[in-house]
Every structure is written in C-alpha cells, then in structure tokens.
Amino acid sequence: MKYLVLMQVDPAVIEGLTEEQQQRIYDGHQAFMEETTKSGEMLSTHALGDPSQSTVIRGGAKPQIVDGPFAETKEFMGGYYLLDVESKERAIELAQRIPDAGIEGLALEIRPVMFSAGADM
C-alpha cells in the first residue's frame, strides 16, 4: 500500500526554530531516509520551496493565474515522503519518526495513494 506523508509547515514556526532544533530536524530526516530505504519502504521524497515562491491557477473557463500561495491558510505543504508499506498502521508508525512530529506547530498528514504512474515505476 502506498501512502503519502505530507509535511505541513507553518513558516512562522520554521523561522522560530533554534539552531539546535534545526540541526535535529536535519539529522532526523537523514536517519529517516536511511532507515526506510534500507527496509525497502521508501519510494521518494521531496521538499518544497517557500510558499512565497508559489503560483496558483484558479480553474475555470478562463483559468486565473495568481502569484503566491492559497491565502486561506497559514499551514502549507512543505514536502512529502512517498512510502510503500504493509498497512496504514505501519505508515502512521513510520510518520511518527519524522522529526517534524516532535515540533509544536508542525503537522503530518497521512493519505493513501489511489493511482500511480511515472518514469521510475
């Protein structure tokens, strides 16, 4: 079963991190990638640029192109892990080891994947 673990970030929380917290997050992600690659559960991961670099297209007969992220929320998708695991429980167990899970104000969302296609698949 493929699960996408979405990392929800609040830029204000990221800016308020101490040097030590930042290092812990970096190290934690390195360890997480290593572990899930070794176990054969890691498919891919990507971290995204700051929401200020975003462009939004509003759908319609004449799509509207707007600079900047969706304005309604202060949480943004900061990146994701795509995992292939035996069960939903395992996906949740793994996601809890992502260092973001230990930081107040950050959140992780675990969603099942329904369809896949791509070059490396």
What is the contact surface with other proteins in residues (CB under 8 A)?
Answer: 37-44, 84, 86, 112, 114-118, 120-121
Residue 63 Cβ vs other proteins, minimum distance, rounded to whole Å = 24
Burial class (CB within 10 angstroms; exposed 0-12, middle 13-18, buried 19+) of 77 = middle
For the CB of residue 121, give the shortest distance to other proteins in the complex, in Å.
5
CB of 117 to other proteins, least distance (A): 7
CB of 70 to other proteins, least distance (A): 22
Which is closer to other proteins, CB of 39 or CB of 52? 39
What b/e string do you get for 46-72 counting C-beta neighbours within 10 Å, with b at 16 or more? eeeeebeeeeeeeeeeeeeeeeebeee
